[in-house]
Amino acid sequence: MEKMKDLKDLLKHEIEDLISAEQQIIEALPSMIEKAKNPQLRQALQEHLQVTEMQKTRLDKVMETLKANNGKEESKGIFNGIFGGGEKVCKGMQGLIKEGEKIISADMNPQVLDAAIIACAQKIEHYEICAYGTVRAYANELKIPQVSQLLEQTLNEEYDADDLLTSLAVGGLNQEAEDRRSGKRSGSARSATSKSSSNGRSNGSNGRSNGSKKSSSSSSSSSKSTSSSSKGKAAKTRKTRASGKRSTSKAK
Ligand SMILES: [Fe+2]
């Protein structure tokens, strides 16, 4: 690996890592969609696959911008990983996906499998929230607004996806998995459930607290790819979060 001399080199390295991560997610999501039983979960994963493909394209744009920004250095050094020197593999995402594939291949009831798929997807989302929050903070620091904007757009989409998964999990799917264990039929009347701890929010390093607040423009852009019912759930969860634990965030 080339020596990283400054924050810009580190940003390039992290973007390469994310390109690999998104590519791995694009390859892994179809099998998760196929195994999911709940229609809303299937829809959420299907929509996120389309969003992820856009995110990958966005990262390619980021790389092009950094390449242009980098002048003659583009043909050597750290860019070789993307432009001709062999692809970098994000080992973190590889591990998360491998772990997810192992658990969702285990013998379990369909309702339990849905809960396991959500857990797997949220681990991936939390990794991405951390990674995108970090690179956005770097781009802010380096004063490359066009890169910062693209990364923030994706960060907001990852938050939306995570919110939606949380609302599906605590809104019924976890309880359906629990009902299977206690012998109840799924779809029975639900009592109020505790909506805390697992399936909650991550606090990724350099996440929202380390950059500008979510802009309305990127918010509306990310929402376009989400169904109306999905949007409602995600927005509701965001609203709850905004007035809750994340109030410790320091907005710039
Ligand atoms: Fe993503």
Segments of the chain with pLDDT less than 50: 72-85, 185-198, 202-205, 209-229, 231, 239-252
Please give the pLDDT value at position 3.
82
Measured in Å, residue 22 CA sits from the centre of ligand 1 at 6
Measured in degrees and rounded to the nearest 5, phi and psi for residue 135 equal -70, -30
The Cα–Cα gap between 224 and 240 comes to 21
Measured in Å, residue 191 CA sits from the centre of ligand 1 at 34
Please give the pLDDT value at position 222.
39
The Cα–Cα gap between 225 and 211 comes to 24
Q: What is the pTM of this model?
A: 0.74
Measured in Å, residue 232 CA sits from the centre of ligand 1 at 20
∠110-113-117 over CA atoms, to 5°?
140
Please give the pLDDT value at position 248.
34
Please give the pLDDT value at position 233.
54
Structure tokens at 82: 């993307």
Please give the pLDDT value at position 235.
53
Please give the pLDDT value at position 16.
95
- Given this structure, which CATH class describes domain 7-182+201-236? mainly alpha
Please give the pLDDT value at position 252.
35
Measured in Å, residue 128 CA sits from the centre of ligand 1 at 6
Measured in Å, residue 180 CA sits from the centre of ligand 1 at 32
Q: Would you give the DSSP letter of residue 67?
A: H
Structure tokens at 66: 């950094």
